[in-house]
Structures are given as structure tokens and as C-alpha cells.
């Protein structure tokens, strides 16, 4: 769904990365969570602490990139792609 909407708004060339991961990563998340379930409780806690910290930092990176896009005056139709 995300790829369809993004490619409709931005074209297939601009969304190739999303297409590849949408098609090739099917089941990848399930496999990762199944592997994590095999770990002991303290290690699972560390894995998810790292997950939360990585998610926070990635959001900061994206927000900074978006602010820079705004600052230099680049306008896109990305507001059509709400998550």
C-alpha cells in the first residue's frame, strides 16, 4: 500500500528503494521476532532498548532532513502520504 501511494505521488524511479523492500522483505520481520523470542529476558530487554533508541534517533534524522528541505524551499507532494 505504501509503495503504491508513494509511486503514484512521486513516480516509480523515486520510490524504487521502497518497492524493493516491500517486495523482498516479506517475512523478514517475522523471522527477526522469532529469533528474538529465543533470547533470554535480559537480552530481549537490551534488544528492545536498542530498538527504541534507534527509532528515536532515526526520527530525529528524518525530522532534521525535513526541516532542511523546508529551509531551502523544496516543496513536495509528500503531505499526501500520511502514515
What pLDDT, on a 0 to 100 scale, did the predictor assign at position 77?
A: 67
38-54 b/e (C-beta count within 10 Å ≥ 16 → b) = eeeeeeeeeeeeeeeee
Per the structure block, which three cell numbers stand in for 78?
509528500
Whole-angstrom Cα distance, residue 77 to residue 37?
Answer: 40
Say what the pTM is: 0.58
pLDDT tens for the chain, 83 residues long, are: 677 788 888 887 888 877 777 776 677 778 889 999 999 999 999 999 999 999 999 999 989 998 898 889 887 766 555 55
What pLDDT, on a 0 to 100 scale, did the predictor assign at position 69?
A: 87
Whole-angstrom Cα distance, residue 70 to residue 68?
Answer: 5
Per the structure block, which three cell numbers stand in for 17?
528503494
What pLDDT, on a 0 to 100 scale, did the predictor assign at position 81?
A: 53
Amino acid at each position: 500500500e505504501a509503495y503504491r501511494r508513494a509511486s503514484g505521488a512521486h513516480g516509480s524511479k523515486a520510490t524504487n528503494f521502497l518497492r524493493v523492500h516491500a517486495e523482498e522483505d516479506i517475512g523478514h520481520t517475522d523471522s527477526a521476532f522469532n529469533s528474538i523470542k529465543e533470547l533470554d529476558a535480559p537480552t530481549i530487554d537490551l534488544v528492545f532498548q536498542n530498538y527504541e533508541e534507534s527509532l528515536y534517533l532515526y526520527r530525529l534524522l528524518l525530522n532534521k532532513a525535513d526541516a532542511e528541505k523546508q529551509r531551502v524551499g523544496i516543496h513536495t507532494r509528500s503531505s499526501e502520504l500520511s502514515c
